Structure 1
Amino acid sequence: MPEQDLTTADFRRRKTRSAVKAYVASLSGTSLEYYDFAIYSVASALVFPKIFFPGNDEFVGLLLSFSTFAVGYLARPLGGIFFGRLGDKIGRRHVLVITLLLIGIATVLIGVLPDYSVLGIWAPTLLVLLRLAQGIGVGGEWGGAVLLSSEFGNPRRRGFWSSAAQIGPPAGNLMANGVLALLAASLSTTDFLGWGWRVAFLASALLVVFGLVIRLKLEETPVFQALVAKDERSKAPVSEVFKTQPRALISAALSRLFPDVMYSLFTVYVAVYATSQLGLTASNVLAAILIGSACQMCVIPLAGILTDIFNRRLVYTLSTIAAAIYIPLFFMMTQDKSPVTLIVGVAVALSIQGLMYGPQAAYITEQFPARLRYVGSSLAYTLAGVVGGAIAPLVFTALTAASGGSWNLIPIYLGAMAIITVIGMALGRDPRPEEDLRLVDEAHV
């Protein structure tokens, strides 16, 4: 008996170590990839309208720049379909290495891309193509990163283990805005627009190498190993999801809409609002997003744990309602045009958003059976992004123009998205951890 107990204890320790390694790999890899995505997001508001879309009309330049921002979201479903299918057929680990390389290479190439004054119309054209590659990579990245950490961890604690991939976007946002804030503060406006912003993009090369080293050392997840052992992998996962999981797909996609639009408001459009409507500086905006992202990073894993204790759908729904109420309060608060108020307002907003974003990965993935989980989760995540975060900055800009420069219409738009997300919660199912436990146990993985 003592030997048996020791063997069991050793096995559990090894399992825990594997789960922790997967958590770190998911968090670090996703952080690096969203660093790439985030520097583009900020640059689309502060830099690209001036150097890739120059002209006499600043509003038109901003719309064109935000259009290239949207391309990254529009490309995500392509990545979700292509890489999601691969992830359910050949495994999570291999796909995540490919997506990391794809995003990293595209970002470095943006950093060396000549601007409009050198290439003319080819400059924005190539920018769109590279943004397309970024979006395809991110579309395939998210689902795999979530499964990497959650399928190694205890399925009864999926809210926490899945939160690794959710920490990635604010962590990447934190790094991206930190680098851009440092460059903006230390360089003149001319130098920052001329070459300074490129440093942030080129730094991606070092980060990608770091992420690759971590991911290449990982094994395949126990759940996927069990699917292989039992020969239960889907031969056509994309079509099977649409045929057999329509309610799960709709619920998972709707659950993402409001958090996604809210995230775009407080990490992308807030830069335009604060500089053009409040008269604040780019440094003020970057500081606000920086501090807000740091707060959000702390909230996300705690929110995941919270939904492992209490009903996940209930916590998500209450957080959605709270966020919808807060948005008009934020705009009223910031009318004093104080940098401190902006920082506090963004920090509170991103913290509330973290209450939804933290358990979002667990909620979306647990809507699908293991054999369809990569492609199902990726499709829900990316399709929602097309009608959520992709067009949100464009909608915010158009609503502001339609209301004569006022913010009054923006909370109404966010309120509609909140209602849709609550409907998604009502359509979803609660966690079923016994499915994964039984699968792995029967396969003796």
Structure 2
Amino acid sequence: MTDGSAVIPLRERSEVGGRRRELAAATVGSVVESFDWNIYAVLAPYFAADLFGHGKHGVGGVLGAYAVFAVGFVARPVGSYLIGRLSDTRGRRFALSLGMAVIAAAGLGIAAVPGRAAIGAWAAVLAVAARLVQGFAFGGEAPSVAAYVTETAPPRHRFAFSSVSYGGVVLGSLLSFGVLALLLRTIGTSGLENGGWRWGFVVAGLLGLAAVWVRRRAPESAEFRRARSHAAAGGRPSFPRTLRTHRWAALTVFLTTLGGTVGYYFALVYLPQYAAAYHVIDKESAASFMTAVLGVVLVTMLLTGAAADRFGLLPVARIGFGLPVPLVGLLLAGLRQGWLPFQVVAVLLGMLVATVLGTLNVFTGLLFPTEVRAVGLGVVNAATIAAFGGTFPLLAEWLADRDLLGVIPWYVTVCTAGPALALLTATRVPGFAAAVTKGATVSGCSPGSD
């Protein structure tokens, strides 16, 4: 019997092995970003009264908590621009380390916010401030990760690296539900509502500090170093000029992000609340099952990335980006009417989201040239997430409070058509078709105008 690794050329195995630190630096940040952001969402029903007080029928406090969840996204475009500029000038590693340090500090800050009973309305003010700081840092995190992975992944395994790095987002969500399940098991609902929720944010802060240590040990992107020397000679374009020059790339990022962020926050964060509203399953049981769903999502993402490396991005994306459009509404109708159980719907919706997310880091990274990659990708990405992803739980709760939950399947379906349309707009980006061809180098996307 021979070692299966022997079929991989020695040079290629050495290349993959030499990139593990870069992949770890990208992935660990994605884990922490997702965990920090989603631990707030899953714990919101438990700390809402503590920080935001009680509203009519107990809804007001939850709405306040979700409103702050949405407010945190407001700072993302600003962070994308400022940290993205640092990423495009000072380096990917510098931006990744700085952003993660801020994220960790803000997470620990939320854990330390006194309750409303102690300081009144200042509890909500401090929570808003901490979420704005986190949003600022998160705005620069995702595009810097996408740029770093695009520039450091081995050409023949770049979509596998993309799926692993974006898989960190799923791992972070998995951990957030896991921590919630652990806290429910150990201290119960009453314990969470009486201050036990703070432990979730303590874990978030400690994970962030560990991520900073990993990133400080990672090397800088060689492609970035080459681009910086050219930029030093010719200068860098302004952001408005970047958007004008790369308008088709910006539109493609908007469309892919629209489908990805709405699909993610509905299928992997809000779905337990949605199912509980229709009395299909209780909220706690649904939240506990999401750990299994996220495991399936992670495997699907890894398989999607491997398939894109094997068969090419475009054939895989045409299937993965197109399937959610007809299936999301059908699955949700089955859930509401009782002929599909929650567990089946949750798994299938998660897999549909995974087929979009699996290749997204490199897919969007290849749309922009190296010298403007982080800021060009980042601002469009962050603005779209702020407008559509961050507002989704708040929108859903608002609709539920007005007995309009039936609108949600239509809204989600329209948004998930975005990635399918993005395959058309991406063809208008010069050099993109060549860049995504199997075996092309990651620098294959032309820096010319759109």
* TM-score using structure 1 length: 0.88
Judged with a 3 Å threshold, the aligned counterparts in structure 2 of structure 1 residues 161 and 189 are, in CA distance, closer, same or farther, namely closer
CA contact (8 A) 1:89 1:235 kept: no
Question: How far apart, in 1, do the equivalents of 2:101 and 2:258 lie?
Answer: 28
Cα gap change, 1:234/1:35 in structure 2, threshold over 3 Å: closer, same or farther? farther
Provide the residue aligned with 1:408 in structure 2.
406
2:130 maps to 130
Task: Give the letter for the 1:196 counterpart.
Answer: G
Alpha-carbon distance, 1:350 to partner: 1.1
**Amino acid aligned to 2:216:** L
Corresponding residue for 2:448?
none
> What is the CA distance between 1:317 and its match in structure 2?
4.2
- For the structure 1 residues 300 and 420, does the alpha-carbon distance in structure 2 shift closer, same or farther, using more than 3 Å as the test? closer
| Alignment partner, residue 239 of structure 2 | 238
**Structure 2 partner of 1:177:** 177
Code of the residue aligned with 2:29 in structure 1: it is G
Please tell me whether the aligned partners of residues 99 and 140 of structure 1 are also in contact (alpha carbons under 8 angstroms): yes
* Counterpart code for 1:324: V
Structure 2 distance, partners of 1:237, 1:350, is 39
User: What does the per-residue CA deviation read over 1:309-354, in whole Å, with 9 as the maximum and x for residues that have no partner?
Assistant: 445345334334322333233333434779x932332122111100
1:49–1:64 CA contact under 8 A, matched in 2: yes
Aligned pair 1:54/2:53, yes or no?
yes
Task: Answer yes or no: is 1:326 the counterpart of 2:324.
Answer: no
Counterpart in the other structure of 1:4: none
The answer as to 2:195 corresponding to 1:198 is: no
Q: CA deviation at 1:364?
A: 0.9
Q: Contact (CA 8 Å) 1:88, 1:234: kept in 2 or not?
A: no
**Residue 5 of structure 1 corresponds to which residue in structure 2?**
none
Equivalent-residue separation in structure 2 for 1:209 and 1:398 (angstroms): 36
- Of 424, 427, 431 in structure 1, the residue corresponding to residue 425 of structure 2 is 427
Q: Is the 8 A contact 2:167 2:302 kept in 1?
A: yes
Q: Distance in 1 between matches of 2:293 and 2:206?
A: 25
Q: For residue 94 of structure 1, report the CA deviation from its aligned partner.
A: 0.7
Q: What corresponds to 2:111 in structure 1?
A: 111
1:359 Cα shift?
1.0
Q: Which runs of 5+ in 2 are unaligned?
A: 1-8, 446-450
Q: Deviations over 1:102-129 (max 9, x none)?
A: 1111011111111212111111111111
- Conserved 8 A contact 1:366-1:431: no
User: Do the aligned partners of 2:52 and 2:121 also contact (CA within 8 Å) in 1?
Assistant: no
Paired residue type of 1:41: A
Q: Residues of 2 paired with 1:425 and 1:387: CA distance?
A: 22
User: In structure 2, what is the Cα distance between the partners aligned to 1:92 and 1:244?
Assistant: 23
Partner of 1:35: 35
- Give 1:254 deviation, angstroms: 1.2
Amino acid at match of 2:322: I
Q: How does 1:30-429 map to 2 (within 5 A)?
A: 30-44=30-44, 46-57=45-56, 58-231=58-231, 234-236=235-237, 238-278=239-279, 280-335=281-336, 341-402=341-402, 404=403, 407-429=405-427
Give the Cα–Cα distance (whole angstroms) in 1 for the partners of residues 111 and 82 of structure 2. Answer: 26
Greater shift in the superposed pair: 92-101 or 429-438: 429-438
Q: Match of 1:299, as an amino acid?
A: T
* Counterpart Cα distance in 1 of 2:275 and 2:72: 24
Distance of 1:353 and 1:96 partners within structure 2: 26
Amino acid at match of 1:419: A
Q: Distance in 2 between matches of 1:321 and 1:228?
A: 38
Letter of the 1:36 counterpart = D
CA contact (8 A) 2:332 2:409 kept: no
Q: Secondary structure at the match of 2:53?
A: coil
**2:417 alignment partner, SS class:** helix
Alpha-carbon distance between aligned partners in 1 of 2:263 and 2:191, rounded to the nearest angstrom: 32
Change (3 A) 1:315 1:73: farther
CA change 1:311–1:395 in 2 (3 A) is: farther
Q: CA deviation at 1:425?
A: 2.4
Distance in 2 of aligned mates of 1:184 and 1:207: 21
* CA apart distance, 1:431: 4.5
The one-letter amino acid of 1:322's match is L
Q: Distance in 1 between matches of 2:279 and 2:364?
A: 37
Partner SS state of residue 52, structure 1: helix
CA RMSD of aligned residues (A): 2.5
Give the letter for the 1:241 counterpart: T
CA distance in 2, matches of 1:12, 1:305: 16
Determine the C-alpha separation between the residues in 2 that align with 1:331 and 1:211.
37
Q: How many residues align?
A: 427
Q: Which amino acid aligns with 1:255?
A: T
Q: Is the 8 A contact 1:185 1:283 kept in 2?
A: no
Distance 1:56 1:13 in 2: 59
Task: Determine the C-alpha separation between the residues in 2 that align with 1:187 and 1:330.
Answer: 35
Deviations 1:23-58 (A, max 9, x none): 1221122112221111012122x2233222222413
- More divergent stretch after superposition (135-144 vs 231-240): 231-240
Contact preservation (8 Å) 1:287, 1:343: no
* Partner SS, residue 193 of structure 1: helix
Deviates more, 1:117-126 or 1:13-22: 13-22
Q: Per the alignment, in what secondary structure is the counterpart of residue 152 of structure 2?
A: coil
In structure 2, how many angstroms separate the alpha carbons of the residues matched to 1:209 and 1:181? 23
Report the alpha carbon displacement of residue 236 of structure 1 after superposing the two structures with TM. 4.1
- 1: distance between equivalents of 2:110 and 2:383? 25
Range with greater deviation from structure 2 (94-103 or 202-211): 202-211
The structural deviation recorded for 1:174 is: 0.7
Question: Retained in 1: the 8 A contact 2:278–2:336?
Answer: no
2:16 and 2:329 mapped to 1: Cα distance? 44
Q: Is the 8 A contact 1:252 1:363 kept in 2?
A: no
Letter in 1 for 2:54: G
| Residue aligned with 1:218, SS | coil
Matching residue of 1:3:
none
Give the match for residue 3 of structure 2: none
With normalisation by structure 2, the TM-score equals 0.87
More displaced stretch, 168-177 vs 323-332: 323-332
